[in-house]
Structures are given as structure tokens and as C-alpha cells.
Structure 1
């Protein structure tokens, strides 16, 4: 049994943020991505049953055996998964779900209730966020599109999916506006360069009229 405890994969995880780089926050709407990464991590380290109890048809009974054979190890693993949850959410969410003697599954379900219950109000909030995403607020178009996709995924999770047309339209509208602004800037620059060229031409004409040597100067004075 000591060997089992020593070599359980979950005991080897030093920094969960290496595997779950997202910090779950209420305002960011990252729950879908965070939950998926967390479940993948738990499956990889054989502790998925600590947040999602096995179904009657489940074929993976590894954690059930741990719970039956070594309750102390099960309790320790549950505390580790609970630490992973607490370590990858914001302080506001932590204070919201933190309760004495909680299990990992209970903490997981509290987060689920926060983000997936009250779907109508959540959908209204996310739709408002979606319509107020502006390309000017992002360093490049890739980051802008990623934000739209993330919000669309969250809306789908609460039963309010965004159609492909609605997804594409704001991108084209804002790209079109950006291109219009770029065209105006280019026109202004072109006009500025034209004025500069005209000024250079006038200077060249003026220079051509100024005497360049003694003979030209004598002829210029006779005039």
C-alpha cells in the first residue's frame, strides 16, 4: 500500500498552473475552457472520479479501488484535487465557494451552479459582452476573434448559441470600418506627399532662376 501511495500520479504534480493556465473569473467567462482543461488534467492523473462520480457503465474503476482499499489515500487525493480547484480560480470565487470540510466534488458542483444555473441571466450578460467586443481594444485581429469565439462558446453552454452569421457579421463590420479609416489615412498621406512634391518642384524652379556663376550673375544684373 505504501508503494501505491508513493507512485500515484497525482502526488507528483507540483504546479497545477502548468497544466491549467487559465484562472477562472466571474467576469471573464472562461468557465467552459477552464472546466475542460481541469477534467483533462484529472483524467490524466487518475482522479476524475473526485469531481465526476463514475456512472454505472463506467469502465475505469481505478479510483473506486483506491477509495475501497486505501481510504487515507483517497482522502489525500481529494484534498489535492480541492487544492487544484482553489488554486486556479479568482479570490472572489474562492471566497464564494469556500466551505469547511468540503470535498472536491462539492466545490466543483458549486462552481457549476454559479456558471451554469440561472442560464437566462447568464445568457443576457454574455450577449451584452459579445455585442460590446470592439477590435480596437485588442492588439491584433487574432486576439479579437478569439474573444468572440470564447463568448460564443459560453453562450452555447447556457443554451443561447450564436449563429455563424452573427459570429461573422461583427468581424466583417469592424474590419470594414478599420479599412475605411486606413483608406482615409492613406488619402491624407497621399495629399500630404503631393503637397511636398509640389513644394520641391517650386524650390527647383526658384533655384534654376538664381545665377550660378559670374557670367550668369552679370547677365542677371543687366536684366
Structure 2
């Protein structure tokens, strides 16, 4: 019998759903969230559920390859992207995916990345201790083949590391949404809110 999801984990995921819903970042059934469990297991939101109204039964467990422990349950379609984050970044413990107006519009306009610089909230990203900083947030083309999209993302991350560039703990999917991760759910929420603030500023500046 698989170990149950700890109450603290399901509670944190449900609270994240309410918080993002209040900000309009997970409309309809959009978005997905996850947290890492022991022994390579991952707690992730189920497919087709409104994230503002999550209940404990809406959180399920997959392995590191995205396979459901309970085959009767269907995880979010992009579960493999959460698995890719945990596989690549061992310190990651929580990952959030949201769909705001700002990240959707800006990712449609962008090239290979969205540049953010000069913002006080850049301090929410690791290694940045001043607003006099710059990050290039990768923008990945949307693809219904999630495994192929993860391979492209790994290729982009490999290229950054070869160039000696720190991989930012977040990326955009063109016309689709944003992913962020951190060492805790609180950290992921803070990172997402900081990023969304900066993206909204960029969107508003572009209207002038």
C-alpha cells in the first residue's frame, strides 16, 4: 500500500490554488501545482479540476516519470514538466504553473526569452542581491507533445550551463503560462508573485 500524501503537503497545494485563483492566475481548470515527496514520489494536482476549489482528493501521486500510483487517477497534462524540474534541480521541492494575462501576452510577443532588469523584485531570484541585475527568462514554444517540450527545455538549460549562465528558476511557455520552482511552497509562491509583478509592469509599459 503506497504511503498517503502528508496532510501538510495537500494543505499547502490547496492553499496555493486559492491564492493563485484570487489573483486570476488559474482561470477555469488552468494551471497545475506539485510538491516533492520522499523516495522520488511527487504530489501533483489532478487533471480537469479548478485550482481555486481544490480538495484533498484532487491531489494525487506520480513517480519521477509521471506515472500515477493509482492508475484510476489522471494527473495534470503537464506533469512531465514538473518531473523534469525535480530531476534537473535537486533542491526544488515545489513547482507552480499559472496562466496570467501578463505572462500569456508577453510570451506571445517575445523571442527566445523575456528580459527583466532593474526591478527591486529581482531579489526574489537566487544570487541577485540588488535591483541592478538582469535575468533572461526562457520562452519555450508550446507543444502538445510534453516529452518533446521537456527535451527542448533540457537542451536550453544545457546551453545556459555551458555558457556559464545561472539557470533562472522559471520559464515561460509561449501563449500558455509560466513555471517557477523553489525549495518550499512558500518560496515558490513568493517567486511567482515577484515574477508576475515584473511581467505585469512590462506589459503595462508596452501599452504606452
Which bin holds the TM-score, normalised by the shorter protein? under 0.3
Q: Select the structure of larger CA radius of gyration.
A: 1
Which structure shows the higher helix fraction? 1
Give the TM-score, by structure 2 length: 0.24
Q: Which has the higher contact order (CA 8 A, sep 6+)?
A: 2
Give the TM-score, by structure 1 length: 0.23
Which structure shows the higher strand fraction? 2
